[in-house]
């Protein structure tokens, strides 16, 4: 089975990540799934934004969690509320909802329930405790544990590749332990960590394996050959075109 093509933050950086324009582009690109990020504002509203901070028009940098919704909407061009996203895009395409932070799991599940989408999305994140809370609140939810963030932090090649190779030998034990705590059924892995043996190992234990974020055809082909279930990309239209040219 071909890997799902996932439109990372909508899959259109030139149109603004996590914006309505980006998500519309992702829909029209032929991607199989949209990926987006959720945080909570100072006054308790869920918003679609990746970074923990935003740069205001006056140049100041402030945490998303320190600003009320009204100010965020004024300062961040194209910012969507989570409910707004669900209304516009929730039923038009599968969605990977990536949780940034913790403490708003109940509000997130409640919003998904209002739109009857709890069992239709893949809820992922780095915080195993937050994912576990979501699973307790919504046993039918699909949960994906994100791992491998440390690899790109180590910089350019060859350092990131060395880090990936160093991490791989202990990955199976680490991943299974963390997945048990998070009550996850999927993994969202940095693509440098992915190898055929690891995908086979995780599949044999009933987990789905997704990877992020791949923007060149050669790496996409390599990852697809490992048997991963989905690949996130900033340019889904290019990967869809590659499938078409290959007759997939």
What pTM did the predictor assign? 0.91
- Taking phi over 0 as left and psi of -120 to 50 as alpha, with beta for the rest, 159 belongs to alpha
- Reported as a single tens digit per residue, the pLDDT across 11-36 is 999 999 999 999 999 999 999 999 99
Q: Domain 4-246 carries which CATH code?
A: 3.20.20.190
- Reported as a single tens digit per residue, the pLDDT across 170-224 is 788 889 999 999 999 999 999 988 999 999 999 999 999 999 999 998 999 999 9
CA distances from 230 to 1, 102, 111, 158 (A): 10, 25, 25, 26
Q: How many CB atoms lie under 10 A from the CB of residue 69?
A: 17
CA-CA distance, 198 to 171, in Å (whole number)? 8
Tokens representing residue 37 in the block: 């990020």
Q: How far apart are the first and last CA of the chain?
A: 10
């Amino acid at each position: 089975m071909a890997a799902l093509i996932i439109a990372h933050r909508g899959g259109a950086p030139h149109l603004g990540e996590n914006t309505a324009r980006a998500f519309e582009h992702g829909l029209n690109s032929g991607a199989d799934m949209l990926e987006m990020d959720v945080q909570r504002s100072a006054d308790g509203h869920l918003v679609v934004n990746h970074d923990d901070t935003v740069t205001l028009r006056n140049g100041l940098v402030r945490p998303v969690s320190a600003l009320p919704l009204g100010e965020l909407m004024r300062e961040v061009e194209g910012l969507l509320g989570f409910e707004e996203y669900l209304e516009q895009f929730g039923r038009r395409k599968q969605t990977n909802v990536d949780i940034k932070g913790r403490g708003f799991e109940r509000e997130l599940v409640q919003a998904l329930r209002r739109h009857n989408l709890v069992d239709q999305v893949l809820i992922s994140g780095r915080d195993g405790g937050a994912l576990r809370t979501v699973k307790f609140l919504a046993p039918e939810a699909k949960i994906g544990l994100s791992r491998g963030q440390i690899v790109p932090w180590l910089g350019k090649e060859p350092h990131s590749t060395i880090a990936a190779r160093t991490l791989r030998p202990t990955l199976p034990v680490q991943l299974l332990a963390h997945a048990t705590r998070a009550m996850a059924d999927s993994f969202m892995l940095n693509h440098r960590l992915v190898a055929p043996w690891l995908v086979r190992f995780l599949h044999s234990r009933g987990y789905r394996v997704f990877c992020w974020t791949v923007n060149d055809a050669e790496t996409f082909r390599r990852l697809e050959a490992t048997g991963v279930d989905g690949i996130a990309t900033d340019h889904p239209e290019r990967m869809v075109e590659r499938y078409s040219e290959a007759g997939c």
